[in-house]
Structure 1
């Protein structure tokens, strides 16, 4: 089961908070108690047609039921950036793949996308190891591709944000890239 989908934990938490038994929830939804138990243990997921009913039962949005947030906290974003940055110092290809995965998972988080775009721009400029002497830096074979990825992320930021400072930073970084 996926670590990022928290439906079972959410159902268990909300069921306990409401003082509802697995049997009562199962009866309301027209499923077996065993099905509810499997959801809560992460052994299976509810049928997609049940998701709106489960969310409504606990007065949750579907995002809350899934445990999903569009935007990360500053600390969470910084931790992901640091992870990718550190990986880039060892293995630029692996770091680039991790960056792509993070960007895909948080495609509406303008702040995080700005940070990732800046990292791509740094890599495209040949500074994968910025603290090494200039003569010891490896050339980046796909600098154009890295810059294109950065520009795509910056375009996404311009699509999703209304924050004036994020808009300014995205436009400035796009011009620089």
Structure 2
């Protein structure tokens, strides 16, 4: 399972780093980024729809997760971000729950009056750490799912590099 902030979900290609951004035609760069973003978005939606819960991906029941996957080109045009976003059909942003998982049990809160030690009603030494360790060692209520976004990028890596290389080459002339 890939972490969303890991290097697996990031693609960088060499060759144009030393050139200043001002010499590129930004319309052509943005068009290439949109094309690459659309390709990765469609691949992620396809991975999610065809897996049907297999391979560690979430199950597609209502289609809300499929519809939430979209892409956005940055203002400068030199970056595209493909990710699930919260839509109006979602009451909570549950792709985060699917990716990171949820443990059984609730979070530790304040102690009830009179349940702790002393005037300030504190927990005993090591009680909080033991409770947190017991919760983290417990079972999953929702098991973490695989990162279908990172897998879609890895599946279409060569195609994305070809699209972006062509866009950067066309933007220079």
TM-score (norm 1): 0.21
- Greater length-normalized contact order (CA 8 Å, ≥ 6 residues apart): 2
Point out the structure with the larger strand share: 2
How high is the TM-score relative to the length of structure 2? 0.22
Q: Which has more radius of gyration?
A: 2
